[in-house]
Amino acid sequence: MPTQTVTRRAPERGHPVAAARHACGLSQQALADRTGLAKSTIARIELGQHQPSVTVALALSRELDTTTEALFGGDR
């Protein structure tokens, strides 16, 4: 039986934080440096493995020049 290859899109590409970060031309490390967060925290947020506090969500929205609703709104 032939082996079937499954191609998956990286989950972080679908997260609004990742999209906004890419639109600003920032790497995860650059966003982490600007917000005082660890790069791993940014990665976990983009993977949907971590829900940030209100303070962190506000810091991200400020650095990404968007609203917290756009990044973490009820549509998700």
CA quadruple 26, 28, 49, 14: dihedral, nearest 10:
40
Question: Which pLDDT band, with edges at 50, 70 and 90, does 8 fall under?
Answer: very low
CATH number of the domain bearing residue 46: 1.10.260.40
Give domain status of residue 23, yes or no.
yes
The boundaries of the domain holding residue 37 are 11-71
Q: What are phi and psi of 4, to 5 degrees?
A: -95, 130
Task: Identify the pLDDT of residue 5.
Answer: 53
The rounded distance, in Å, linking the Cα atoms of 37 and 7 is 31
Structure confidence by residue, pLDDT tens digits, 41-70: 999 999 999 999 999 999 999 999 999 999
In a domain, 1, yes or no: no
- What pLDDT score does 7 carry? 44
Q: What's the pLDDT at 73? A: 86
